[in-house]
Chains A and B, each alone.
Chain A
C-alpha cells in the first residue's frame, strides 16, 4: 500500500505528464504565414530545349546500326537549363535557373519557389527561357492580380498550350 506522500507525489507527476502532453500537443499555435499576407509560388516542371539540333543519318550510317535501332535522326540528349524571372509590381522578386534532372541532363528542370507578398492588387511579370544561347525570354506573361489574405497563386507552365499560366 502506498503512503499518502507517495500517492500525492505520484498524482503530481502523472498530472505534470498529462499537462506536458496535453499542452505541447496543442499549444502554442503556429502561424507560418502572417495575417494579411498571401503566397506566390513558382512551380514548374519543364523540359528545356535540346542543346543541339537533330541530325538526319545517311543510309550508310543507318546500315551500320542494328535493325531495331535504325531511327532516321540522331538527337543529342542533353537539354538546356530553364531560367525564370518573376517581377512583382515591377520589382525583381525571383531569379532562378534550374538544370535539367538526370545524369545525362535530359530530364525536366524543376523550379519550386515560394514568395510571401501583401494581400491585395499586384502587377505580376513572369519570363521564361528554355533554349540555350537565347538572348531574351521565349515566354512571358504580364498581368494584374488581386490576392486575398492567405491565397496561394501558382505560377506554372502549361506544356499543351506552351504558355505561362497563373492558377
Chain B
C-alpha cells in the first residue's frame, strides 16, 4: 500500500481537506505554538535554583485546572510535535518531495531534528525529579564521549549540582527553542504562502486530544532527584527520550546511529537522480514586468529585475523552478484572444506552451465542434473508458494553475458547449488549484471575465480513478445547454 493510497483512504473519514496526513507540517507548527505558549507560562513560575526547581514544578500538580493543565499540554504537545515532524519527513520522502527544486527546503528542515531533541531532552532536566536525574546523567555521559567536550560534564551530577547549572539549563532550553523557531523560518524561505495553521476542524480536534490527555492523564513529577542513589524510574517518555537508553548502553553506537541517520537524510535528495523538467522561461519582449508571476510562484523561483530603461523584467531561477506553469497561468499576455499567429506570453513553460494549448484547442474543437472542453491536471482523472464515450475535448496540463482563465472564455467562443477545469486530488504544487479557483471566481488576477456565463463552466477536483464523477459533470453541462 503506497503512502498516497493510504492518504486517499483516510480522505473518506476527513472530507473537505481536513485529512491530517495532508497537514503534517501545519500540525507540527500548531504543536510548536502550543509549546511556546505553555512554555512561557512555565518559565514564569519556574525556580531555577537547585532547591527550588523540583518544588516549583511539582507544585503545579496542586492546580489541576491551571498549572497542571499547562504542564500536561506542554509535555503532550512536545510528544505530538516529534510525531508530526517524523511523519511529515516520512511523507515528503515517500512522495518524492525531497528532490530537485524541493531539496533546499528538505535540507533546511534537517537541522530542526537535532534542535528538537536538544530542547526535548533538556526540558526533562528542569523538573529535577528522578526521571530528570536519569535524563541529565545519561545525556551528560553521552556528551562526554564527544572528543572536544572534555569529559567532565557528567561529573557535575556525581556530587553537588551547582545552583547556576539550572539557570544555564533553562537558558539552553528556551534558547534552543527560539532557535527552532528561527530554523523553521529558514526552512520555509523557499515556499510562498506556507500553510502554518491546519484547517480549523483539524486544529480543534488535535487541541481537544491534547487537552483531554492533560486532564485525564496529568503529568506529575516523581520524587526529587537524589544524587547519592541511582534513579529507579517508574515511567518513561519514549517519544521524547528514546535516544537515551541507547546512549546509556552504547554511547559510541548511539552517536554513529545519529550521524548515520542525519547523513542518510542529507544525501537522500541526491539519489536516485531524477530528471528535472524544463524550467519556465521569460520572453523579454512580451514581459511587461507586472509581477503577477512573482506573486503566484509557489516556490519563490521568479523575481523582478530592473531593465536598462527602468522597467521591470521577470527572471526565473531554474534551480528553484518546479515547472508547474502557475506563472504562465498568471501572465496577462497569455490570453488566447491575442491575434498573433504565434501566441508568445511573457513567461511560459518551454515543454507545454500556451501557444501549443491554443493550437490543440482549435484543432480538436474543429474536429469535434460543440464538444465540452476539459482542461485537466495530468495527475488527476485521465481520459479513460468512462470518458471516452463522452463528447469532450481533453487537454492535459501540468497543473490547473497553468491555465490562463481567458482560455475558458476562448473555448466557449470557439463553439464549445461547456468547459470543465479538472484539478487533481491534492495539488502537487501546493497552490495551483487554489489560484485556478480564485482566478475563475474573479478573486485573483488575471480574472475570468464576468460576462462568461457561470452555468457554462465548472471547476472540480477529480482524482485518478474518479473519471465517472467527472463524466457526470460533463454530462451535466451538456444537459444544462439542452
Contacts and interface: CB of A to CB of B under 8 A. Distances in A.
A9 B229 CA distance: 48
B158 A41 contact: yes
User: Is chain B's interface secondary structure helix, strand, loop, or mixed overall?
Assistant: helix
A25 B245 contact: no
A10 B83 contact: no
Contacts of A21: 76, 79-80, 83, 209-210, 213, 239
A43 interface: yes
Interface stretch (A26-34, A52-60, A64-72): A26-34
Contacts of B159: 43, 154, 156, 167
A18 B215 CA distance: 12
Contacts of A150: 229-232
Interface string A88-122: 00000000001001000000101010100000000
A25 B239 contact: yes
Contacts of A20: 83
B214 to A, nearest CB: 10
Interface in A129-167: 148, 150-152, 154, 156, 167
B6 interface: no
A30 B238 CA distance: 9
A24 B79 CA distance: 9
A29 B234 CA distance: 6
B13 A10 contact: yes
Interface range on chain A: under 10, 10 to 19, 20 to 34, or 35 or more?
35 or more
B13 A31 contact: no
Interface in B177-209: 205-206, 208-209
A89 to B, nearest CB: 20
A51 interface: no
B227 A26 contact: no
From A25, A33, A110, A114, residue with most partner B Cβ within 10 Å? A25
Interface centre among A13, A27, A108 (most CB of B within 10 A): A13
Contacts of A6: 12-15
Given A24-B237, A29-B234, A32-B233, A112 B13 contact: no
B34 to A, nearest CB: 13
B236 A110 contact: no
Given A5-B13, A28-B236, A112-B151, A18 B229 contact: no
Interface in B54-80: 75-76, 79-80
Given A2-B15, A32-B248, A112-B152, A24 B239 contact: yes
Nearest to B9: A9
B144 interface: yes
Interface of A: 2, 5-6, 9-10, 13-14, 17-18, 20-22, 24-33, 38-39, 41, 43, 45, 98, 101, 108, 110, 112, 114, 148, 150-152, 154, 156, 167
Given A14-B205, A22-B217, 18 more contacts: A6-B14, A9-B12, A10-B13, A10-B14, A10-B205, A17-B209, A21-B83, A21-B213, A24-B238, A24-B239, A25-B238, A28-B238, A31-B233, A33-B230, A33-B232, A110-B144, A148-B229, A152-B158
